[in-house]
Amino acid sequence: MTSPHGPDAAHAILRERAQRLAQRPSGKPLDEQVELLEFTLAHERYALLASQVHDVQPLRDLTPLPCTPPFLRGLVNLRGRLVAVIDLKQFFGLPEPGITDLHRIVLLRRGEVEIGLLADTVEGVSVVDKSRIRPTPSIVGGVAAEYIVGVTPERLVVLDTDAILSDPRLVVDEDVNT
């Protein structure tokens, strides 16, 4: 079995890759850089500060809760703790393609509050200059405007973890009229 590019091409690829890895990181100070956890919601790219995320878990055994608002998709059991799963697409007015095993849960925790955000895919953690994060455009309003920190030129929407966690609307207190 021979490579279609031949041994010279393979050498060129390896050399190029080695040079890329050998490149030093940019000389900017680390304070001006943030690490963002990038995920997608209905093919749109969103991000959270990686330092504020507890961890990422696969979506397993989602139990829907009756008599709850639509954004609360249900409960999951994560290492013995029950975590509510919030679907941000309900807030951002994005289309709902349905839930599969491929979905991920981005777990946020502050004190006793622990919620899971439903994400279609999780791309990974990347490093971005703070200066590249632009303020929210004025045309965005409503709940979305409250959650968004800013937007990068790559159309990566950076969400505010604190705003989400402190939103009183996420507190569910409803009764079923019997």
Partner 1 sequence: MNGFNNLKTGTKMVLGLGLIVALLVLLGGMAQHAMEEITQSRNVAVQANALEASLNDDRAIVLTLLSIDDATTRSNLFDEAAKNGKSAATYLQGMHSLTQMDPELAAMISQFAEQYAVYGQVRDGQVLTLLRKGQVEAARAASLGEQNSRYLAMRDLAEKLSDRALALGTQQAASARSTFAMVGVLALLLAMLIGWWLTHTIAGPLRSLTAAAERIAIGDLPSEELSLGRSDEVGLLHQAFGRMSRSLRQMAGIAHSISEGDLRVSIEPQSEHDVLGKAFASMIHNLRNLTANIHEGINVLSSSASEISTSTSELAASATQTAVAVSETTTTVEEVRQTAQMSSEKARAVSDSALRVASISEEGRKATDDATAGMARIQQQMELIAESMVRLSEQSQAVGQIVATVDDLTGQSKLLAVNASIEAAKAGEHGKGFAVVAQEVKSLAEQSRQATAQVRSILGDIQQATSAAVLATEQGSHAVAEGVRQSTQAGQSIQALTGSVSEASQAAVQIAASSQQQLVGVDQVATAMESIKLASNQNVDSAKQMETAAHGIKLLGEKLKQIAAGYRL
Sort residue 43 into left (φ over 0), alpha (ψ -120 to 50) or beta. Answer: left
Identity of the residue, 37 or 72, whose beta carbon is nearer to partner 1 in the bound complex: 37
Residues 6 or more apart in contact with residue 148 via CB below 8 angstroms: 136, 140, 157, 158, 159, 160
CB of 124 to partner 1, least distance (A): 6
CB of 101 to partner 1, least distance (A): 9
Identity of the residue, 45 or 54, whose beta carbon is nearer to partner 1 in the bound complex: 54
Identity of the residue, 53 or 157, whose beta carbon is nearer to partner 1 in the bound complex: 53
CB of 4 to partner 1, least distance (A): 14
CA angle 95, 159, 99 (to 5 degrees): 35
Residues in contact with partner 1 by the rule CB under 8 A? 30, 35, 37, 50-51, 53-58, 102, 104, 122, 124-125
Identity of the residue, 65 or 132, whose beta carbon is nearer to partner 1 in the bound complex: 132
CB 126, CB 95: distance < 8 Å: no
Cα 57 from chain centroid? 12
Identity of the residue, 55 or 129, whose beta carbon is nearer to partner 1 in the bound complex: 55
CB of 171 to partner 1, least distance (A): 26
CB of 149 to partner 1, least distance (A): 17
Tracing tokens 């959650």 back to the chain, one arrives at 147
CB 148, CB 157: distance < 8 Å: yes
Other Cβ atoms closer than 10 A to 3: 10
